Structure 1
């Protein structure tokens, strides 16, 4: 069971391991969107967005619901929004530490 959980975590984080996929998840954290809406927000080609959504969908990170000719995407689990917020806090903590280290080096 423990190995299954580790494998799930590894696969999950692999699905997140692309800046465009992270940005798509940040957008979907604000609410469900179609590919065209995501593309407009990102200012990128639809094929790039569709490709990254396919990866996220295959790893069960997002879900797509058909609505006429469009597919509306949303986060499969709302905790993903919290995960992204925690990752941002960790980044901020690292940045603060780096700035502090540089200031200490400058003052020596």
Structure 2
């Protein structure tokens, strides 16, 4: 195995990973990722499942979107969110003893 020196390109890679980890570092955001693995939902449907005001939920989703974990599509007056990286949840299956 060849080890690479931590240069600016490699550092950018790890900074992106930190951004993703920070975006996931909240129970509500992890829940949003979990429910989106079942399919695309509009923010109103997500709001029905979470006991929080819409602005708080929107902030959580915005962080997930900024990290590249979810995509959004506006259809009329509604915004729909899709999980872009379902594999991001695999480590939790491992930690929780699932396969």
Q: TM-score range by the shorter chain?
A: 0.7 to 0.9
Q: Which consecutive residues of structure 1, in runs of 5 or more, have no partner in the other structure? A: 94-108
The DSSP-based 3-state class of the residue aligned with 1:9 is: helix
Higher helix share: 1
Give per-residue Cα distances to partners, 1:50-91, cap 9 Å, x unaligned.
Answer: 1101111122211110000000001122323xxx24214314
Which range moved further: 4-13 or 36-45? 36-45
1:71 to 68, 79, 83: 79
Which range moved further: 31-40 or 53-62? 53-62
Q: Deviating runs (4+, > 6 A) in structure 1? A: none
- Report the RMSD for the aligned CA atoms in angstroms: 1.8
Aligned length: 90
Q: 1:92 deviation in Å?
A: 4.4
2:63 to 34, 55, 61: 55
Give the corresponding residue for 1:32. 40
Q: Structure 2 length normalisation: TM-score?
A: 0.79
Between structure 1 and structure 2, the one with the greater Rg is 1
Q: Structure 1 length normalisation: TM-score?
A: 0.73
Q: Which consecutive residues of structure 2, in runs of 5 or more, have no partner in the other structure? A: 1-8
